[in-house]
Structure 1
Amino acid sequence: MRIFIGAVLACLSFSVLAEQADPAALKAQLQDYYFDAARRGDVDMLNTFIESGYSLNTQDEKGYTALILAAYHGEGAYVDRLLAAGADACVQDKRGNTALMGAIFKGELKIAQRLLATDCNPDQRNGAGQTAAMYAGLFKRVELLDELKAKGADLNAEDAIGNSASRLASGEIRTPAPR
């Protein structure tokens, strides 16, 4: 019986060593933990990543960073901690959206105001040519629109189909012409 238990433990040890030997799998698992913590707002887990020197601007397959995910999911304390630790609020996902755009879209106004205090260009555009001000106008986030304007956002800048923040705020929405 001892030989059998010893053999099972040896097999388990080898499988654990084999899993640990794959750096790509370890990296993927760490990223999963990191992004899951952002979605849940697990600041204790974030602090562990920060203390270990983990890259705070790591992006997933869609280009999302922990800051983008935390802003989108309304995790204000997580957003604050990431920014205090040096996360870049200007990073764009693969569609060009930023954490600020995600916060405005979801109606996370306090988080959006915190992100407005960063050094990002207020007229930063996504892949469709839209700005954070356009999101604020579209979703009637008037207070944020005023703050974006005070920060220098061009409320008359247009996207590819002619929408501007000021037009969107007044309810005028242009859509692409039918093909």
Structure 2
Amino acid sequence: MLMFLRFAAQFAICAALLAIVGMAGLFAMTPPVESPPLVSSAGVPLDKEASAQLIDEIFQAVRDDDAAKVRQFLTDGHSPNVRSPRGDTLLIVAAYRDSGDVVAELLKTDGVDLDAQNRAGLTAVSGAAFKGHDETLKALISAGANVNSTSPTQQTAIMFAKMAGKTSTVKILEEAGARESSGSAPASPAAK
């Protein structure tokens, strides 16, 4: 029995490493998604250097859960769907980091793309699911985010939650109708 458990653990570790390597390969081959252009308060497009600085600042504000700074960024007319160099949107980073105040601010914003994917094909839902950020996940689901979005490797949010051992997150996703992969049966009888 002990030998079987050891083999199962080694198999699971190898499978996880293969998934990570596959995702890294896809990330390297996937071209970045263009970020919406940034403009000054006078309506003049920002140059590349100023745009890069503003993007760095706003993504740091998201990581710091600084909803006031994000609100000002949006009030200044900037897109909620601006992209980092990795292709992340503000919502993807906020969900992954469990920046609840920023998530709430973004969900109130017209035009926010709930299902945007980064270069690796991950969404705000999959980021929150992987990290087990249940309240953030519930907010995303309530706002209408897709719980069945698949990455280029056909991984779904519920698969990420299971891989990370987030049982409460798996339950939330099952109750929202999450599936193991596109087109397969619901993840549990409760999701039917």
Fold-level match, TM-score > 0.5?
A: yes
How many residues matched?
Answer: 142
Q: Report the RMSD for the aligned CA atoms in angstroms.
A: 2.5
Letter in 2 for 1:69: V
1:20-31 → structure 2 map (5 Å cutoff): 23-31=47-55
**Displacement of 1:125 after TM fit?**
0.4
Pair 1:98 & 2:123 matched: yes
Q: Is 2:75 aligned against 1:56?
A: no
Alignment CA distance shift 1:52-1:96 (3 Å): same
Q: What percent of counterpart residues are identical?
A: 32
C-alpha change, 1:105 and 1:37, in structure 2 (3 Å) is: same
SS at match of 1:31: helix
Candidates 119, 138, 148, aligned match of 2:144:
119
Residue in 2 that maps onto 1:13: none
Quote the Cα distance in structure 2 between the aligned partners of 1:47 and 1:22. 19
Q: Aligned pair 1:141/2:163, yes or no? A: no
SS in 2 for 1:59: coil
Read off the aligned partner of 1:148 and give its amino acid letter. L
- Once the two structures are TM-superposed, the CA of residue 127 in structure 1 deviates from its matched residue by 2.0
Matches of 1:116 and 1:143 in 2, distance apart? 15
Letter of the structure 2 residue corresponding to residue 81 of structure 1:
E
Instruction: Compute the displacement of 1:43 (Å).
Output: 1.1
Deviation larger for 71-80 or 112-121: 112-121
Report the Cα distance in structure 1 between the residues aligned to 2:46 and 2:99, rounded to whole angstroms: 32
* Separation in structure 2 between the aligned mates of residue 129 and residue 85 of structure 1, nearest angstrom: 29
Q: Which runs of 5+ in 1 are unaligned?
A: 1-20, 159-163, 167-179
User: SS state of the match for residue 117, structure 1?
Assistant: helix
Provide TM-score, normalisation by structure 1.
Answer: 0.70
Letter paired with 2:76: S
Q: CA deviation at 1:51?
A: 0.8
- 2:90 alignment counterpart: 66
Q: Which has the higher contact order (CA 8 A, sep 6+)?
A: 2
Max Rg structure: 1
Q: Matches of 2:113 and 2:105 in 1, distance apart?
A: 12
| Counterpart AA for 1:104 | A
Task: Give 5+ residue unaligned stretches, structure 2.
Answer: 1-44
Maintained 8 Å contact 1:90/1:98: yes
Structure 1: which 4+ aligned runs deviate by more than 3 Å? none
1:65-84 alignment runs, 5 A limit: 65-84=89-108
Partner in structure 2 of residue 46 of structure 1: 70
- TM-score (norm: length of structure 2): 0.66
Give the aligned partner of residue 152 of structure 1.
177
